[in-house]
Amino acid sequence: MSLWIINGNVWNETSGNLESKHIRIENGLIEAVIDGTQTPDTGSAEVIDAQGKLVSPGFIDMHVHLRDPGFEYKEDIATGTRSAAKGGFTTIACMPNTRPVTDTAETVRYIKSKAEQVGVVKVLPYASITKNELGRELTDFASLKEAGAIGFTDDGVGVQNAQMMKNAMALAHSMDMPIIAHCEDDTLVEGAWASEGEFSRKHGLKGIPNESEAIHVGRDVLLAEATGVHYHVCHVSTEQSVRLIRLAKQIGVRVTAEVCPHHLLLSDEDIPGLDDANWKMNPPLRTPRDVQAVIEALEDGTIDMVVTDHAPHSAEEKARSVQLAPFGIVGFETAFPLLYTKFVQTGKWTLGFLLQRMTADPARVFRLPTGRLEQGAPADITIVDLANERAVDPSTFASKSNNTPFGGWKLSGWPVTTIVDGAIVWSE
């Protein structure tokens, strides 16, 4: 299949500017990127006229929840990948806290097979570190890797036993596989849903302290140093975690990290009250000081990438009291517009910086062939209308769920076309 994208604006990292380019795609690969002043010979190929819109490598999200198998009433692979495509994502990595837990080769193969049948973007499955994510017995790493798992994580719960985590890291390292850690000490969070900060004090709530995350980060950094494993920290949210990760990188530990848009944009002081569970997520919204710390960490490279932690739940579940409602918000369809509007349009970041943290950097960390607009690269491409401003309308989400605190926010930078391996998988 031949496809041309003409009159697009591509970010040039060397010049720090957008430059007009035409891109030719053949058989799922980028065949050529030519200067926009030239006249492309499109012949009989399909043509997309980008009309000056941003043409970017497809966004990569290394932390998502597709809820399939087991919780398909929240989301499934078909709706989740459509939502990802609408948000401009071309590669996503799904977490294993499904039912059954993704702890067997059979379940990994199910996810890969279903993604090939009904998914519209690339789906990379993680497998769990321990059987049923109970922290008692390691899964069969070798068979899970052979089936197609790209790493091991008990996301949703922290591995509480240090010896279990060390054993997992040593085994993963021997197989050249990463350990991806949800960092949370259960003894410090039981019975709480909001961070230990101004909001919890105001409402007389037990708070989740920052140490609940940072204790596991510190422990795991030492275990990663001892074992040599690639250790990746999920959804960093605290100043203390940032300090530990920064120090670990300085002394040569193989640690990488991620952050979510909501932890870059919202603090516990933004929570409007006790009657809206769309503000309940794990990790919780932290203090303004923590927000500033994770922003600075993303800017200086301590945190390597942006992820969404897309976590859909049904409207009925989120309508419960905040104490009883599940943790999590959806994130695919608002991630880029949020960060573009709040950081790039305000002059805090360059467009190139944001694109790097959403494309090239996750590809580098997880050794993916995508994340670049170069000859020979997979034709995973996102076209974005940077000038289009509109309000977030959760009723229009392609996801089955609309649990977001960002409803009504006026944002710019909406993806309009998403291409995977040279095929258009979503177009506005």
Across residues 289-300, what is the average pLDDT?
A: 98
Tokens read off for 357: 């943290």
272 neighbors 322 (Cβ within 8 angstroms) = no
Across residues 150-163, what is the average pLDDT?
A: 96
Across residues 400-406, what is the average pLDDT?
A: 98
Q: Name the amino acid, one letter, at 58.
A: G
- How many residues appear in the chain? 428
Contact partners, residue 64, CB within 8 Å, separation at least 6? 80, 84, 92, 93, 94, 95, 307, 308, 309, 310, 332
> What is the C-alpha to C-alpha distance for residues 428 and 425, in angstroms, rounded to an integer?
10
Express each pLDDT in 88-137 by its tens digit. Answer: 999 999 999 999 999 999 999 999 999 999 999 999 999 999 999 999 99
55 neighbors 42 (Cβ within 8 angstroms) = no
Across residues 149-176, what is the average pLDDT?
A: 97
- Give the C-alpha distances (Å, rounded to integers) separating 270 from 311, 312, 344: 20, 21, 22
Tokens read off for 386: 């940077």
Task: Please tell me the predicted confidence (pLDDT) of residue 207.
Answer: 96
Residue 1 has pLDDT above 90, yes or no: no
| Residue 226 phi, psi dihedral angles, 5° rounding | -70, -35
Residue 191 has pLDDT above 90, yes or no: no
Active site residue 41: no
The Cβ of residue 256 has, within 10 Å, a number of other Cβ atoms equal to: 23
Across residues 10-20, what is the average pLDDT?
A: 93
> What is the C-alpha to C-alpha distance for residues 142 and 133, in angstroms, rounded to an integer?
17
- Nearest to 98, CA basis, from 113, 88, 108, 90: 108
pTM reported for the whole predicted model: 0.98
With bands split at pLDDT 50, 70 and 90, how would you rate the model's confidence at 173?
Answer: very high
Across residues 284-299, what is the average pLDDT?
A: 98
Phi-psi region of 234 (alpha: psi -120 to 50; beta: other; left: phi over 0): beta
Residue 236 has pLDDT above 80, yes or no: yes
332 neighbors 87 (Cβ within 8 angstroms) = yes
* Residue 259: Cβ-neighbour burial (10 angstroms; 0-12, 13-18, 19+): buried
> What is the C-alpha to C-alpha distance for residues 195 and 162, in angstroms, rounded to an integer?
25
With bands split at pLDDT 50, 70 and 90, how would you rate the model's confidence at 31?
Answer: very high
Express each pLDDT in 33-81 by its tens digit. Answer: 999 999 999 999 999 999 999 999 999 999 999 999 999 999 999 999 9
> What is the C-alpha to C-alpha distance for residues 27 and 2, in angstroms, rounded to an integer?
7
Phi-psi region of 148 (alpha: psi -120 to 50; beta: other; left: phi over 0): left
Residue 261 has pLDDT above 90, yes or no: yes
Active-site residue, selected from the candidate residues 61, 309, 380, 385? 309
Residue 294 has pLDDT above 80, yes or no: yes
Across residues 382-410, what is the average pLDDT?
A: 98
> What is the C-alpha to C-alpha distance for residues 50 and 62, in angstroms, rounded to an integer?
27
Q: Is the dihedral of CA 320, 324, 329, 330 positive or negative?
A: negative
The Cβ of residue 323 has, within 10 Å, a number of other Cβ atoms equal to: 13
> What is the C-alpha to C-alpha distance for residues 54 and 388, in angstroms, rounded to an integer?
12
Q: What is the DSSP secondary structure assignment for residue 341, as one 8-state letter? A: I
376 neighbors 297 (Cβ within 8 angstroms) = no
| Domains recognised in the chain with CATH numbers | 2-55+377-427 (2.30.40.10), 60-365 (3.20.20.140)
* Residue 296: Cβ-neighbour burial (10 angstroms; 0-12, 13-18, 19+): middle
Q: Within 251-313, where are the H helices?
A: 261-265, 288-300
Residue 188 has pLDDT above 90, yes or no: yes
- Rounded to 5°, angle at Cα 398 from 182 and 263: 35
SS3 30: strand
Phi-psi region of 278 (alpha: psi -120 to 50; beta: other; left: phi over 0): alpha
Tokens read off for 38: 């030239």
> What is the C-alpha to C-alpha distance for residues 324 and 265, in angstroms, rounded to an integer?
25
Task: Please tell me the predicted confidence (pLDDT) of residue 13.
Answer: 87
